[in-house]
Structure 1
């Protein structure tokens, strides 16, 4: 029985622990360390549990004799905790808090997590629950500065954690991925950072727990093995039935034909040209495509037969640039997909195959340019039970280290995640408005003229974005404007602000080797040198590399350079930062080992060990830097990569350079949901897509010449309309992309249904500002999640666990976007726990059913659950144009409802000093009353008197949405509690 408990602080630093072989376990403060008597092969010899609070327990395991000393990049200091007890019960050592019980078997080290009633949340697999395999970083991954790498940095463990999982369990999180997968149960995901791919080491279960693992290396969820080439997984036969290979047929645009044998489809990367490591490259790469054959405009077919060695569901990974389709046994396994050649994509699909049976395969590929990419691999087959388990694999860490987080619901689990990784900030109010961007505004005149056109047309907007290459072409990284195109940057910023806009600017952690900022960082040893050694030139033709953001002093210099050249230089007139390529993206389309060589070694260790965490340390540089020089202005960062804990640096993420196709739009739905359910609250995307198919470009060019809307332009405009409708109901509302440009008047002329719909949803977004900004307050104070998979609010309804194209945006709006061309209706599932109202008509719908509902061109279906309160504010053209003196308060009856209206000054940090106000609003279904609490708190500029127009909606009184003059019950509110009886 435990007799002494020490209050200690859980900090970044992990203290080495050892216990004598004569002891079973040792208690020290809030840590319990167990020596495992029979760890088995590659099992853990030591297991340490750290009780963080009543619902969070940290688990560390090592195959060594002591735990390593290390510093966490994601965990923040924790409050002392001692309210737990330790008991021995047979072979188990039990740790009990008020909410959970953790059992550790002293012989095997197996761990079980139970709730206070004894029901199991999570149990490590009885066999192989924890394995730690010694790992040594390959020399080629350490880069040209290998001499700087201490021997201790080269060694660690590859570990795998495996847990049992019942058939009805569902999993979410893992970051943002592009395969239209939502519930990750039984699926595989490689976890690394790349353009369009964000990997977060956190998973959330519908059983009301989460797992956060403190590892920064390349990881895998699901199958721990790398994907295999087809010839390693199957017997291959060519199109005539000859064993050993597939048949590849290449036909160029002139009709020239080449037929050859293909033992695999692995044209997935470009190899380094001048590297001392080039001789070590593995087989594959685009250099294995036919030499002297023009791929651009060609048609390529790979065909033959696969023979599976076992019955099972085979998980395939398709990698592609250009147009591609895959057929198996004559059926379309992958419908046509497209991606531009400089930014290939991957797509996963699962196919059941029968042992010994030949399955016809046909891959049809139209490459996009003479440099293009294509690959098809398959995961090693696992038994279905094993495939359905929780499996987390980390390539290299000092030890196995994860946190178990329990809760009564998903929100409590995510709150636990933010307890560990840090509070999200209250993001600036303007960030919830509309942002206009493009790739790219090329002059200050374009910036000012675009914003002026929004104001002229009275289209709401808050933020305009300056993307890359505002600098002189050869001066990437000097953080200065090219004077011929931006002659007076301060005047440009003043003009933007005079038009009530905000200005965001792109800054990469990248420097050309010729600029002074590069040379300053390089003198201090803070530049990655592999790209320089290999004479890699980017697409503009110049050599350069990235700085080492893992060094705290390098981060200070990086910020100082930004401050001197941009922030302080222009009187703090830059409102936000676009931190592009923060993966870091030093070169596209390279093998994984070479990406590591390009981005290391870091100040903390090899890039193999720290592969995924660059964006969080880079975010720290800007957040801490700006707050140090201007503590009164809220920091806002938008980054292309993300990692656990980034919310504490006021950082949001967007989904990268996605393509402009319907399937890519659909993929953003599940991508954004899983990102948000990874505990990171602010996410957005390039509305309309970034990379554009040639057919859309040609259609716009034809329209510019003739004024004719051809079929491709018609589709383009509908796609843009649907994407902007979708974008209204996510945290960040931003349009961006390559040409054709995405200003609404450049998408379609005024009066066109696309134009009208985009503007209508923009205006709706601003009407929702009291609702949106209240949620921004909840994100900070209550650890709230704005973009919510249905499981967060309707767990227990078995129909909702894999619905990836409907979600709750806050507590009261279920958005149901349209993801297919020419669709004018769609199926919607209404969770059974509530009745539902159509937002636009007020019509009531019973829950627990699927219905096909109208989805005309101009709008997407949106529904409100009974027991909801939605505050609508005034029509505005920017977020702080008007105070919401009159709020039309829609109350959707049928159940009790609550809403907390949150307000503060919008752009500063006074909320941290308690300068904010809340009004609690409660609707009682039994009494048919709306009660307004006494206002709590105050702030400068606060409205002391306001009106609420209460609009009651019930199944007998539908009440169509009317934001201008709805009939309701007017309430004058001066800050005192008041209760209103509804008629």
Structure 2
């Protein structure tokens, strides 16, 4: 009797269960030629709960074939061959040439381990895969450990301030796995991290039993340090603050752990360290970590060191907590061995079925297109959103905000958006979404002035948080739409005397409708243009333990928080997007949110990297964080230019001249980098972040920041065309080098260079006082220096000049870069004259995209594209026939062409005499270039 059933769209296999953790059924579904869904269940029937991430996996019919080959069942599509063991349930994916792409490894830990969540039964889930030795792994959202390639590491998929979770991994072999699970998940090497105590520990005196821990008090206290032997370091959460030695005060203190560590394994050990304050770690007298993070918001670091089995290794941690409450923990993993070196896994805390999608493509763009096929397209952002955003924590009055906008306009520094951060309400009215009239006497008048007089948009912060007892709280509470644990525990926040608060349940459709109705009535009707969704992890109580965080959002409308922990941000933003589109279908939604999840891109949402530190080291970590975010299929991302929170030397009293110059340099380098992220936005705590508050006009910091601002606006035809590609071709704006140069194995681990669109190679400078930087020019292309037009071949590492005022920027050979007019804001005037810089040496093409800028008519075909091509052999540039049309479309324009060749460099200069001029009215025109 056969144990499988061929279905209309796949196959269902019944397995013999050997243990309770084995699957009983495995189901494969053909979603498309390149996408296969794999599901497994340990019980008789699959859970029918709909996915929160995947919106429609049944688009269209796909031709596929099925056959039985002994104990193997084979599914063939145009692009894939997929085999499933009829008795084992193991699934293997092959390309059409028969090469293995990915293979399930079902030996080892149980796939399903029963767990009880309150009154609900569920399962812990784990699935392992065999992979090839040379593979690299990316994506998974935004993580700030500085890693680009996650090979050999564990990635913790837990939503947190500055960690954004997207359970979509992509491989350098051009496939991805969308892990359809909403709970806390681990990826990669999913073995549990071990506490320090699992190593053999010796004190400074080399005696066994623990490290020598020294808790030195603030020198002003005049107290002798507390010295003792310790075997563990775990001050990770609020709950652990009670574990410090009795009577020890962190403020002004310094802690060290010194001695020797000994492992029972030989090889590269990996260490994980959440920390705040100043921390340094040495192994064998080598400094492995040296960072600062604000005391109230720890960040994760990972590093590695080789240890020899049975050998003592000198070890030291030095920690200055830099505050009255601070966080630190330390743990490790022994080396992977044998087959585990070529194994990855996903492991999730809770779920009723195993469910993942294998997504294949000829390149990573196709893999990301497959992800969006499953989870929804990313919209074209409103054109103004691609301009410059000015923000600050925070503008405290209406006048302060207006004065900043006026200063930008007076100085003729381009600006599109001003941001009103939190606490514009009365101190005890968080969640009211109402302006405090003593500080904002006429918010309607303010918004009207911004729109009509200053031509700027305004974004406003609206948390999903409510103070106990306010009117909005009562309305949500009456309908049972609030999480009540924090109310029952009377947890107070940090504002004024401290107020008790909670969040609404965004999993409840009624909760989402009520939240939109609240911000619509109080804010959107006044003309607010964009929504800032802070703390959307949800961060109900910062730095609480994970178990407590789950308790604080329990139960959700859908069930236990354990099962849905990571998906809050998706549901919260869904309500705002659907609410605004329902209220005003002609107005493009723009949401900036501090978290992410699979499918977020379909809700008009972008993500920023959270409350990060203002240091060069943190700037360096932003680059791989953003690149992996892009590889997760979410195209719109940004950081707080300048970092959010600053060291005392910058904001406690007048800065020393040295600190001030360091501050200016840090901001200059961050602005340079931020110009070439998908969204260009400055934000942070004091010192104020406006360029005119950073440095005077005659300072090179000011001049550099304004130069790149104006360059961003000149590039608007290029940038807005990229946003068009995001929707129409599932494009990606901020592109890790592996996307365009994956065949060049040198790029697999490059974490601090990227392509901005198809043409610009961006090389941020993230070291203090650097005037040059090493970078790699990818192979199989030549490269032009953007500034002077000089040319060199790729496939080599170079040391590029990086003077204070400039970041190294290169243009790929065979590129067409369109530059528009000088602008003060994105919609100031149409690009009637476009300067086309054509970089010869290879054929080139670019498609100029335009639409109505702020509405959704492009979804109904109201847009136009102009294909522009260059043929190297004939040296001919062709501006092709315009395709499509829309209301208000520019009918005629001029293209001034500047031709740059390997032997004839030309500088980026907008008053340069063009090599050719094309007067264009929509019909194709060609010119020969010399």
Q: Secondary structure at the match of 1:702?
A: coil
Mapped to 1, the partners of 2:172 and 2:780 lie a distance apart of 16
Q: CA deviation at 1:79?
A: 1.4
Give, in angstroms, the shift of residue 223 of structure 1: 2.4
Tell me the residue number matched to 1:83.
63
- Cα contact 2:266–2:335 (8 A) shared by 1: no
Larger CA deviation: 833-842 vs 373-382:
373-382
Change (3 A) 1:354 1:851: same
The yes-or-no answer on 1:135 pairing with 2:135 is no
| Corresponding position: 1:70 with 2:53 | no
Out of 70, 74, 84, the position equivalent to 1:94 is: 74
Q: 1:512 aligns with which of 449, 467, 487?
A: 467
2:234 is matched with: 266
What are the within-5 Å matches in structure 2 for residues 524-673 of structure 1?
Answer: 524-540=479-495, 541-568=498-525, 570=526, 573-673=527-627
Q: 1:630 to 1:755 in 2, by over 3 A?
A: same
CA displacement, residues 240-263 of structure 1 (integer Å, 9 cap, x when unaligned):
222222111111123421112222
Please show how residues 480-879 of structure 1 align to structure 2 within 5 Å.
480-497=434-451, 498-540=453-495, 541-568=498-525, 570=526, 573-698=527-652, 701-702=653-654, 710-879=657-826
Matched residues in 2 for 1:840 and 1:344: separation?
A: 39
What is the aligned counterpart of 1:253 among 218, 229, 233?
A: 218
Structure 1 counterpart of 2:171: 205
Asked whether the equivalents of residues 475 and 514 of structure 1 are also in contact (C-alpha less than 8 Å), the reply is: no
Using the alignment, how far apart are the partners of 2:767 and 2:62 within structure 1?
Answer: 55
Q: Which runs of 5+ in 2 are unaligned?
A: none
How far did residue 911 of structure 1 move? 1.0
In structure 1, runs of 5+ residues without a counterpart are 1-21, 140-150, 272-284, 704-708
Asked if 1:125 is matched to 2:125, the reply is no
Cα distance in 1 between the residues matched to 2:18 and 2:794 = 51
Aligned to 1:235: 200
In the alignment, what sits opposite 2:328? 374
> Per-residue deviation at 1:387?
4.2
Q: 1:44 aligns with which of 23, 32, 56?
A: 23
Distance 1:201 1:39 in 2: 30
Distance 1:181 1:672 in 2: 11
Q: What is aligned with 1:10? A: none
Pairs aligned (count): 923
* In 2, Cα distance between equivalents of 1:38 and 1:373: 45
1:110 aligns with 2:93: no
1:871 match: secondary structure = strand
Q: Which region of structure 1 is more displaced relative to structure 2, 221-230 or 744-753?
A: 221-230
C-alpha deviation, 1:80, in angstroms: 3.3
Instruction: Report how far residue 71 of structure 1 moved.
Output: 1.0
Counterpart CA distance in 2 for 1:101 and 1:723 is 46
Secondary structure, aligned partner of 2:767: coil
* 1:434–1:733 CA contact under 8 A, matched in 2: yes
Alpha carbons 2:236, 2:329 under 8 Å: kept: yes
Separation in structure 2 between the aligned mates of residue 129 and residue 650 of structure 1, nearest angstrom: 39
Output the TM-score relative to the length of structure 2.
Answer: 0.98
Is the 8 Å Cα contact of residues 375 and 602 (structure 2) preserved in structure 1?
yes
SS at match of 1:57: strand
CA offset at residue 319 of structure 1? Answer: 1.8
CA contact 1:51–1:81 (8 Å) conserved in 2? no
Deviations 1:609-636 (A, max 9, x none): 0010111101111000011111111100
Measured in 2, the distance between the counterparts of 1:216 and 1:512 equals 28
Quote the Cα distance in structure 2 between the aligned partners of 1:539 and 1:345: 20
The structural deviation recorded for 1:129 is: 8.5
Structure 1 distance, partners of 2:339, 2:706, is 50
CA–CA separation in structure 2 for the residues paired with 1:897 and 1:728 = 24
State the Cα RMSD in Å: 1.3
Report the equivalent of 1:391.
345
**1:412-453 alpha-carbon deviations (Å, 9 max, x no partner):** 000000000001111000111000000000011011110000
Structure 2 CA distance for aligned equivalents of residues 92 and 786 of structure 1: 42
**Distance (Å, rounded) in 2 between the aligned partners of 1:116 and 1:585:** 46
TM-score, with structure 1 as normaliser = 0.93
Residue in 1 that maps onto 2:184 = 218
What SS does the aligned partner of 1:207 have?
coil
| Residue equivalent to 2:905 | 958
SS in structure 2 at match of 1:718: helix
2:129 pairs with 1:175? no
Residue in structure 1 matching 2:277, options 322, 346, 359: 322
Could you say which residue in structure 2 is the equivalent of 1:3? none
CA contact (8 A) 1:185 1:388 kept: no
Matched, 1:909 2:909: no
- 2:831 corresponds in structure 1 to 884
Q: Is contact 1:905–1:916 with CA below 8 Å preserved after alignment?
A: yes
Moved more, 532-541 or 23-32: 23-32
- Report how far residue 341 of structure 1 moved: 1.4
> Offset of 1:40 from its aligned partner?
5.6
SS at match of 1:396: strand
- Secondary structure, aligned partner of 1:168: coil
Please state how far the C-alpha of 1:31 moved relative to its aligned partner. 3.1
- In 2: Cα distance, 1:533 partner to 1:383 partner: 48
Superposed structure 1 runs of 4+ greater than 4 Å apart = 38-41
Are the equivalent residues in 2 in contact too, given 1:39–1:108 (CA < 8 A)? no
Contact 2:635–2:734 (Cα < 8 Å) also in 1: yes
Which secondary structure state, in structure 2, belongs to the residue aligned with residue 722 of structure 1? helix
SS across alignment from 1:608: helix
Structure 1 residue matching 2:565: 3-state secondary structure: coil
